[in-house]
């Protein structure tokens, strides 16, 4: 889930918002302003209801952000790097670059989110009681009470032992601790997630057919998301297990084609030596060492308004915004950074020297090679270092 726009950094973590948040934000604000608030406390102006609904929706999303920030902060304290937090249609997601190092760390990282939501719920409940005792505005009391209830529900729902919910990760931590096998633990938590997800889908469809209430379809949608996410989580765990022990330099395309920063964009597009088969090119300076400055994609080049007077160095994606890795880095730690799209290629740097580039197709070729070898060798894919020649002869048509 890629963010549509960024909120900057909070507690050192990048925070982004997907456009789908606007949909759920509007539904919450409208539902409160046109439904719950006037029904519970009639007689106020439309503007008062609208303001109360908007402010309550904003505070609700701040509560979601606090939930995800708790995950991120505890993850970093347990040695797990965090890429970013993205708020979207069904809540929030904290993207981490690696797995928790132990069941205890998994327990701490996963459990802190529901705990924060529960504390917020209790805090809002106490605040609503205090405001009522002080004879504060009934709309204010009702809004705070709604925030208390929704945060408690959020904590309880996330604590359900089904992946990819926080409770599913707590279940995985327990199974991992009991069996000592993280992959088996992930499979168990994912199976629980699929069962729970299909149950929600069935309940949602049945509820819609029985009552024709569109809220039931929302329940089915949440269930379907859980089924898909739980399945994907198990696949990713199996992929990480297959790629364990594989370094970036055993997968990357070595010595990729580069483009000088001083070249104009129109010459880049006109030269078939650059354009043929390469969707992303590392950009280097004019010095003898060829220091990497960034990444240029054909899509970005095609959008330059004045290619004849714009250099590649001016149009490129700078290195500070480009995904990078080192040759000896574990490939499984790079996977979270590797997403579809030419601009998401991972540039591999050995100090200041360009060592290679990694794309999803590079990883796919390595996975196919390892899967074939595992089938042939009865499941043991280790000891592959020294056979790099097979992996280095890549078709570079996707870079």
- Count Cβ atoms below 10 Å from residue 290 Cβ, excluding itself: 15
| Structure token digits, residue 233 | 């989580």
Phi and psi at residue 84, in whole multiples of 5°? -170, 175
Percentage of the chain exceeding pLDDT 90: 56
User: How many residues make up the chain in this entry?
Assistant: 399
Phi and psi at residue 185, in whole multiples of 5°? -65, -40
Q: At residue 384, does pLDDT exceed 60? A: no
Q: What pLDDT, on a 0 to 100 scale, did the predictor assign at position 290?
A: 77
Q: Of 240-249, 273-282, 329-338, which one has max mean pLDDT?
A: 240-249
Cβ–Cβ < 8 Å for 88, 18: yes
CA proximity to 276, closest of 176, 158, 107, 398: 398
Q: Which residue has the tokens 């129109």?
A: 266
Q: What pLDDT, on a 0 to 100 scale, did the predictor assign at position 390?
A: 39
CA proximity to 337, closest of 370, 309, 295, 378: 295
* Burial label, 113 (beta-carbon count in 10 A; 0-12, 13-18, 19+): buried
Q: What pLDDT, on a 0 to 100 scale, did the predictor assign at position 385?
A: 46
Percentage of the chain exceeding pLDDT 70: 92
Please confirm, yes or no, whether 68 is among the known catalytic residues. Answer: yes
What integer is the mean pLDDT of 191-207?
A: 94
pLDDT tens-digit profile of 280-321? 899 998 776 678 999 999 889 889 999 889 999 999 999 988
Work out the angle between the directed axes of helices 138-158 and 46-77 (0-180°, nearest 10).
30
- 8-17, 193-202, 335-344, 355-364: which has the minimum mean pLDDT? 335-344
pLDDT tens-digit profile of 144-153? 999 999 999 9
Q: At residue 386, does pLDDT exceed 90? A: no
> Residue 106 and residue 110: Cα distance in Å, rounded?
6
Q: What pLDDT, on a 0 to 100 scale, did the predictor assign at position 355?
A: 93
Work out the angle between the directed axes of helices 360-377 and 214-242 (0-180°, nearest 10).
60
Q: What pLDDT, on a 0 to 100 scale, did the predictor assign at position 204?
A: 93
What three-state secondary structure class fits 93? Answer: strand
Global pTM value: 0.77
pLDDT tens-digit profile of 97-106? 778 999 999 9
Q: Where are the alpha helices (DSSP H) in 78-161?
A: 103-133, 138-158
Strands of the sheet with 13-17, listed across from one edge? 5-10, 13-17, 82-88, 91-96
Phi and psi at residue 355, in whole multiples of 5°? -100, -35
Cβ–Cβ < 8 Å for 316, 283: yes
Domain spans of the chain, in order of start:
5-159, 180-242, 248-392
DSSP codes of every residue in 238-293: HHHHHTTT-BGGGTSEES---EETTSBHHHHHH-HHHHTT-SEEEEE-SSTT--EE
What integer is the mean pLDDT of 145-164?
A: 95
Kindly name the residue from 39, 68, 99, 329 that is annotated as catalytic: 68
Count how many Cα atoms sit within 13 Å of the Cα of residue 233 in the half-sphere of its side chain. Answer: 29
Confidence of residue 119 (pLDDT cuts 50, 70, 90): very high
Q: What CATH number does the domain located at 248-392 have?
A: 3.10.580.10
Cβ–Cβ < 8 Å for 349, 323: no
Q: What pLDDT, on a 0 to 100 scale, did the predictor assign at position 212?
A: 76
């Amino acid at each position: 889930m890629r963010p549509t726009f960024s909120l900057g950094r909070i507690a050192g973590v990048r925070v982004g918002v997907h456009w789908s948040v606007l949909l759920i934000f509007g539904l919450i604000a409208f539902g409160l302003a046109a439904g719950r608030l006037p029904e519970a406390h009639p007689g106020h102006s439309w503007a008062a209801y609208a303001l109360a609904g908007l402010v309550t929706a904003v505070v609700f999303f701040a509560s979601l952000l606090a939930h995800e920030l708790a995950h991120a902060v505890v993850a970093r304290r347990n040695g797990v790097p965090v890429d970013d937090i993205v708020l979207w249609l069904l809540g929030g997601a904290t993207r981490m670059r690696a797995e928790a190092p132990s069941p205890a760390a998994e327990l701490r990282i996963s459990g802190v989110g529901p705990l924060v939501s529960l504390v917020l719920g209790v805090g809002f409940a106490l605040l609503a009681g205090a405001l009522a005792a002080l004879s504060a505005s009934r709309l204010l009391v009702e809004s705070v009470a709604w925030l208390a209830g929704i945060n408690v529900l959020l904590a309880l729902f996330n604590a359900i032992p089904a992946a990819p919910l926080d409770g599913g990760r707590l279940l995985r931590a327990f199974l991992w601790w009991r069996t000592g096998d993280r992959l088996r633990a992930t499979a168990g938590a994912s199976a629980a997630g699929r069962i729970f997800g299909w149950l929600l889908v069935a309940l949602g469809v049945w509820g819609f057919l029985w009552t024709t209430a569109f809220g039931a379809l929302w329940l089915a949608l949440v269930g379907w998301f859980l089924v898909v996410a739980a399945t994907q989580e198990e696949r990713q765990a199996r992929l990480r297990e297959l790629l364990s022990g594989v370094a970036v330099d055993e997968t990357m395309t070595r010595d990729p084609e580069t483009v000088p920063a001083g070249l104009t964009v129109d010459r880049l597009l006109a030269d078939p030596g650059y354009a043929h088969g390469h969707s992303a090119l590392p950009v280097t300076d004019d010095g003898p060492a060829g220091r990497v400055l960034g990444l240029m994609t054909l899509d970005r080049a095609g959008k330059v308004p004045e290619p004849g007077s714009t250099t590649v160095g001016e149009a490129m994606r700078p290195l500070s915004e480009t995904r990078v890795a080192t040759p000896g880095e574990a490939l499984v730690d790079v996977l979270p950074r590797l997403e579809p799209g030419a601009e998401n290629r991972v540039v591999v740097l050995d100090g200041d020297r360009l060592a290679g580039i990694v794309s999803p197709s590079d990883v796919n070729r390595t996975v196919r090679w390892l899967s074939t070898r595992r089938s042939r060798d009865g499941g043991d894919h280790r000891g592959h270092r020294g056979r790099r020649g097979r992996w280095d002869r890549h078709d570079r048509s996707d870079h």
